Structure 1
Amino acid sequence: MQKQRLISPFAPYSRRRTSNVIRLGLASFTRSDVYHFLLTLSWLNFLLLVSVVFLATNALFGLLYLCGGDCLANARSGSFLDSFFFSVHTIATVGYGSIYPKTDYANWIVTLESLVGIVGTAMITGLVFARFSLPTARVLFSKVAVISPYNGIPTLMFRTANERHNLIVEAQIGVTLVHNETTNEGHFMRRFYDLELVRKRSPVFALSWTVMHPIDASSPLYNATPESLQAEDAQLVISLTGIDETVSQTIHASHIFTADEILWDVRFVDILSLTENGFRRVDYRRFHDVEPVGLSNK
């Protein structure tokens, strides 16, 4: 009997995003996606897009003024530049006054352009404010996760740190193991298993947090090996949420560890120490460093 292959909506789960997933039967872009698209553009691309729309709009109205013939006082006959710059003065409400409409046709175009200018200015102002006020997280994750003994139990560990000099209040972190499975009926699936953590909540996340999952008999990683994780295309999906104390808004951060980023029989070097004055010191230069189990931290 030929095995039936059922593809989960999450398979394959890319390393950082699902852009390599081919989605059939869904609209690629809708009107409701425009706002999301404008918020997620980089600042450079956003400013370039605004500039192109501004120039194109004024060029269009400049052509409309040209179509009206000699409808602008003090403008050179047939001059696109005069019509274009008059459009810029109108839509930006500059109003230098050297060129002005002298026909009903020109006044109606000015009325329409003024309306477009008011609406456009309001929309761009709202987008700029939304982009500035969008809450973002600066959370650092270690480049690798490690599996090493902790209190005699093999334990999965990775580090995360708050890169800002403030607090993330009520921080919560979740770790999910994602890997391929084939059922007894021969169905291929991408399965998700939540991992139990030693501590999944931090009331105040300020410096560094080592997240730990003990690999006991109840763990989905029990009896796992580097080879089995590679064969199953295993990934650890990390999700962190909390409240930024500065803006009092919820922030999100995520990360993915692939199977080759999970190191065995090594541990993270110690980055916490005390100065002679009694201050705590965190050496983020060694945040990603690991050493074989059995060596003393230096």
Structure 2
Amino acid sequence: MLKTLRKHLGCRLKEQQRCRARLVSKDGRCNIEFGNVEEQSRIAFLADIWTTILDLKWRYKMTIFISAFLGSWFLFGLLWYAVAYIHNDLPEFSPSINHTPCVENINGLTSSFLFSLETQVTIGYGFRCVTEHCGTAIFLLVCQSILGVIINSFMCGAILAKISRPKKRAKTITFSKNAVISKRGGKLCLLIRVANLRKSLLIGSHIYGKLLKTTVTPEGETIIMDQVNINFVVDAGNENLFFISPLTIYHIIDKNSPFFEMTAETILQQDFELVVFLDGTVEATSATCQVRTSYIPEEVFWGYRFVPIVSKTKEGKYRVDFSNFSKTVEVETPHCAFCLYNERDSKSRMKKAYDNPGFILSEVNETTETKM
């Protein structure tokens, strides 16, 4: 009993580990880690600070956003306090009645911080202000105003660019959870369903795939994640898709396909990952975006097809039922692609007649008399 339970748990653990070993997750994120990166390459991330900020997660971006403003306010608050301290403007120096301070009504570090905040965000309450008798204060005011504009432009632009990235548009493009293999148009095909959840189109859409697997070259070199091109088409081609309703894309399993030698029993024993890409241009912003997902052998169902989801109502409208988007039904499917092609070849030979060039017709003379 314990051995059976241990074996079952071991199989489940291996299956889960295999399911986790994928380069691209179902939502399109890449599962890859870079190690031993040189210091010069790390500095390159700081050189391209704009892309680095855009790629950061929201929690890190907001931390930088808040720290940039608070840090600049506090830094210039210290500088304003230093100016007031050097010119003896603080109450602790007991300035005379005729004394003209650099900044009116700065009484300490707190009021210096408030004046820095008012200056950089251009609030201007009118209680604290710079006088014309101090050139240092005027120079510091100009520097803080320029730096404040730069920080505002960079941070606000980064947040706006983060929100409007076409990566968010890709979230409204969804693929079916599983791929299926069945006959389509008399050919054995691998089919995947993809849908656009928005009514706005993706202009110039193009769909293709990559099969990732480990191969060994004739020279004995082992290549991890060797990429093989997988061509996907729809009935109208694989470019400039009219992507207003869900589409079923398919890959024809012919003699040039890497799936040609797989069968219904051996496909689960294969070690591959099928990554599907959809490129297009967002109609609203004219920005290009890419949607991707992946399928492992356990997510490829042999001998199934997708349930229809598009119907037409009595009012003449087309309706898409997304509850059946990833549902499949079992259909009669050949055991393998090789079996299908052999069956088609045998049927075509039966319909044809063949001449045998080695056949010789010999004539026999029949006699009416019989000798005794």
> Do they fold alike, i.e. is TM over 0.5?
yes
Q: CA 1:12 to 1:181, structure 2 compared with 1: closer, same or farther past 3 Å?
A: farther
**Whose relative contact order is higher, 1 or 2, with alpha carbons under 8 Å and at least 6 apart?**
1
CA apart distance, 1:271: 0.9
Partners in 2 of 1:57 and 1:227 — Cα distance?
65
Q: CA RMSD in A?
A: 2.7
Counterpart for residue 164 of structure 1 = 198
**Are 1:167 and 1:205, in contact at CA under 8 Å, matched by a contact in 2?**
yes
* Letter paired with 2:289: I
Partners in 1 of 2:198 and 2:57 — Cα distance?
21
Q: CA 1:230 to 1:182, structure 2 compared with 1: closer, same or farther past 3 Å?
A: farther
Partners in 1 of 2:262 and 2:34 — Cα distance?
27
Partners in 1 of 2:292 and 2:65 — Cα distance?
30
**Are 1:174 and 1:238, in contact at CA under 8 Å, matched by a contact in 2?**
yes
Secondary structure at 2:110's aligned position in 1?
A: helix
CA apart distance, 1:152: 4.0
Counterpart for residue 301 of structure 2 = 263
Partners in 1 of 2:143 and 2:285 — Cα distance?
40
Counterpart for residue 23 of structure 2 = 13
Secondary structure at 2:226's aligned position in 1?
A: strand
**Counterpart check, 1:72 vs 2:103:** yes
Alignment of 1:45-60 (within 5 A): 45-60=60-75
* Letter paired with 1:180: T
- 1:102-158 CA-partner distances (Å, limit 9, x unpaired): 544333322221121122223234334434543333211111111123244321111
> What are the ranges of 5 or more consecutive residues in structure 1 without an aligned counterpart?
1-10
Counterpart for residue 106 of structure 1 = 137
**Are 1:179 and 1:232, in contact at CA under 8 Å, matched by a contact in 2?**
no
Partners in 2 of 1:225 and 1:72 — Cα distance?
83
* Letter paired with 2:218: N
Counterpart for residue 189 of structure 2 = 155
- 1:59-118 CA-partner distances (Å, limit 9, x unpaired): 111122223313532122xx3221111001111122222112454433332222112112
Pick the structure with more helix per residue: 2
Partners in 1 of 2:246 and 2:311 — Cα distance?
13
Q: If the length of structure 1 is used for normalisation, what is the TM-score?
A: 0.83
Secondary structure at 1:219's aligned position in 2?
A: coil
Counterpart for residue 256 of structure 2 = 218
Q: CA 1:187 to 1:231, structure 2 compared with 1: closer, same or farther past 3 Å?
A: farther
Percent of aligned positions that are identical: 30
**Are 1:226 and 1:259, in contact at CA under 8 Å, matched by a contact in 2?**
no
From the CA coordinates, give the structure whose radius of gyration is larger: 2
**Counterpart check, 1:28 vs 2:47:** no
**Are 2:24 and 2:275, in contact at CA under 8 Å, matched by a contact in 1?**
no
Q: CA 1:289 to 1:21, structure 2 compared with 1: closer, same or farther past 3 Å?
A: farther
**Are 1:14 and 1:20, in contact at CA under 8 Å, matched by a contact in 2?**
no
> What are the ranges of 5 or more consecutive residues in structure 2 without an aligned counterpart?
1-20, 90-101, 333-372
Partners in 1 of 2:144 and 2:244 — Cα distance?
51
Partners in 2 of 1:82 and 1:227 — Cα distance?
78
**Counterpart check, 1:118 vs 2:118:** no
Partners in 1 of 2:330 and 2:36 — Cα distance?
43
Secondary structure at 1:20's aligned position in 2?
A: coil
Partners in 1 of 2:251 and 2:148 — Cα distance?
57
**Are 2:23 and 2:32, in contact at CA under 8 Å, matched by a contact in 1?**
no
**Counterpart check, 1:93 vs 2:106:** no
**Counterpart check, 1:191 vs 2:226:** yes
Partners in 2 of 1:132 and 1:12 — Cα distance?
28
Partners in 2 of 1:202 and 1:266 — Cα distance?
28
**Are 1:170 and 1:242, in contact at CA under 8 Å, matched by a contact in 2?**
yes
Q: CA 1:112 to 1:169, structure 2 compared with 1: closer, same or farther past 3 Å?
A: closer
Aligned length, in residue pairs: 283
Q: CA 1:34 to 1:156, structure 2 compared with 1: closer, same or farther past 3 Å?
A: same
Q: If the length of structure 2 is used for normalisation, what is the TM-score?
A: 0.68
Partners in 1 of 2:78 and 2:274 — Cα distance?
57
Partners in 2 of 1:230 and 1:187 — Cα distance?
25
